[in-house]
Structure formats: C-alpha cells, structure tokens
Amino acid sequence: MKIIYICGLVHSGSTILDMALGAHSGIVGLGEISRILKADQRNFSNREFTKIHCSCGKDMLECLFWSEIRNKAFLWESQPASLRYEELLTIFSSIFGENKILVDSSKEISPYLLDLHKNHKLKIIFLAKDFRSWSYSIHMKKKKNIFTLPLRWRRENKKLLSFLEKNGLDYYPLGYEEFALYPKTILSLLCRYIGVQFEENMLRPAGSTSHIIRGNRARSDPDKIQAIRYDSRWMTSNKASLLPFLYLPLNSFNKKIVFSNYLKSRKENNRHEGLL
C-alpha cells in the first residue's frame, strides 16, 4: 500500500498540506494517526475524546472511518503500534478501496515508521517552516520566548533529518513557504514524487474528502481552508525581524530545508522572475 507520511515540527503547516493532498481523488488524509494509535480504552471511552471533530464534519463516534477505528481500538490495547497500524490499514482499504493512498501527518518519528518503510511504499515529505515564521507562531500560541525558539527549530529539524538519513529513508524536502506561496507548482512536483497526476481540486483544501481528526483546528474552519494562503503575520513583528541577525548561521540551513525547490527551480531556470 502507498502511504504518504508528513514529517516535521509542530506548527509547520502540515494540516493544510494534508487537506490539499486529500482533495486529490486518489488520496485520503487521516491527520495525526500516531496520536490516535497511542490512545487507550480509557481515552476511547472518554466523552470529550470521542467528541473530537473530524474534518468530514462529524465527530469520532459518527465519522465513517474513525468510528470503525474506535470499535477496533477496544481490542488492540496490548498490540504494538505497527500492528495497530496494520489493522487501521485494513479498515482503510475496506472503506476507501485498495488503491487509495493514505496521508499520515503525524510529523514526529513514530514507532511504526520503519515498519511502514519495510512493508509498504512509503513516501515521506519532510516539511519545514521558515524559522522566523515558525518561532513567531510558537511564541504567539505557546507564549514561549521568541529569541530562544530558533535553537529549538534547528535542534528538532536536525534530529528528524538525521533519523531519516541514518535509516536510509527517502524523503521529499518541502518548505511551507514554497507550498503556500506557489501551491500549484509545488503540488505538481509533489504529485510527481508520489506518482499521481496533479488535480486542480488540490488547490481547494475545503473540498478534501479526508478524515483529519487531529492537528490544527483550521481543518474545520471553512474560511481558512477555502484556498491555500500564506500566513504572513510574522512579517509585522519587530521581534521576528531581528531573528535573522541574531541567528546569522541559521540562515543557510533555513534556505536549504525551506526553499530547496525554489532554489533548484531558479538554478534550472536562468530567468529571474516567474520561476515557480
């Protein structure tokens, strides 16, 4: 089975990417699967947990896919994560069909990742957000000191990359900025990597037929998912504009992981404008 795994830090724009991919007729996004697989019977019996809203518009108890998983979860308590995942894949194929491609936007290094690589066609997208924009989001949402966040951004991205490289996992590097600013070009490139034809519907994540139950709340906000738009709020922050000067050595790593497709296209295309 073909599985797309979105790997990256929290708040890197994975939910909107998951939804855009899921708007393709051959792809279904399920959001952060690892967080659901970690849940135990107590969680699944908890009223608050089962009321989590799915991007299909229903809650866990009513959703076509997650209600089936919930029923199964009562039996898989003692199973390791990769076996739980196989059960999930069986339910996925029986509901959506054998040929559908699944998107898992768990982002972290999940305990089942190497088994997926061994047993399935795994397509990893390594998604990174510009460190100025990422630090600003975490600063605003979690009230963390913006001036220390670039260090965390570097450390966690390096850790993910070194895991992928050490284990010989092939991945597609993608910047949130490239994706949100040039969605059509980037989604076409991603489709080539995944092995499907690009479809215009992907530019309208609201049309996604995915069942994303975890991740950014934007999944159930119709305004935010109508089109892929770049969130540029950080540009008006004085603190964020100081970061590239305070962290000069980070700029080249940032360029490498966030703008690789843009820079490659600029190199291939000697013209300066309209590159992507």
Is 211 an interacting residue with respect to Zn ion (CB under 5 A)?
Answer: yes
CB of 206 to Zn ion, least distance (A): 15
> Least distance to Zn ion from the beta carbon of 76, Å?
20
Distance CA(65)–CA(215), nearest Å, equals 17
> Is the Cβ of residue 72 or residue 239 nearer to Zn ion in the bound state?
72
- From 75-83, 113-121, 122-130, 203-211, span contacting Zn ion (CB under 5 A): 203-211
User: CA-to-CA distance for 105 and 70, rounded, in angstroms?
Assistant: 19
Nearer to Zn ion, 24 or 129 (CB): 24
* Binding window for Zn ion (CB under 5 A); candidates: 21-29, 31-39, 109-117, 209-217: 209-217
Tell me how far the alpha carbon of residue 20 is from its chain's centroid: 10
Closest distance of CB 57 from Zn ion, Å? 7
Task: Show contacts with Zn ion in window 38-77 (CB under 5 A).
Answer: 54, 56, 63
Number of alpha helices (DSSP H) and beta strands (DSSP E) in the chain = 15, 5
d(C-alpha 225, C-alpha 183), whole Å:
13
Containing H/E element for 194?
helix 183-194
* 130 in Cβ contact with 154 (< 8 Å): no
Contact at 8 Å (CB) between 237 and 244? Answer: no
Distance CA 40, CA 62 (A): 19
Minimum gap (Å) between residue 212 Cβ and Zn ion: 8
Q: Which of residues 74-133 bind Zn ion (CB under 5 A)?
A: none
Q: Shortest distance, CB of residue 235 to Zn ion, whole angstroms? A: 35
* Displacement of CA 16 from its chain's centroid (Å): 8
Give kind and range of the element (H or E) at residue 42.
helix 41-45
Q: Total binding residues for Zn ion by CB under 5 A?
A: 4
Smallest distance, Å, CB 16 to Zn ion? 17
DSSP class of residue 59?
B
Query: Quick one: angle between helices 66-73 and 81-96, nearest 10?
Result: 140
Cβ proximity to Zn ion, 18 vs 177, nearer residue: 18
Contact assessment for residue 85 and residue 33, using Cβ atoms and an 8 Å cutoff: yes
Residue 224 binding Zn ion, by CB under 5 A? no
CB of residue 161 to Zn ion, shortest distance in Å: 32
Q: Cα–Cα–Cα angle for 228, 268, 134, nearest 5°?
A: 35
Which of these ranges, 7-15, 29-37, 205-213, 221-229, lies near Zn ion under the rule CB under 5 A? Answer: 205-213
Interface residues toward Zn ion, by CB under 5 A: 54, 56, 63, 211
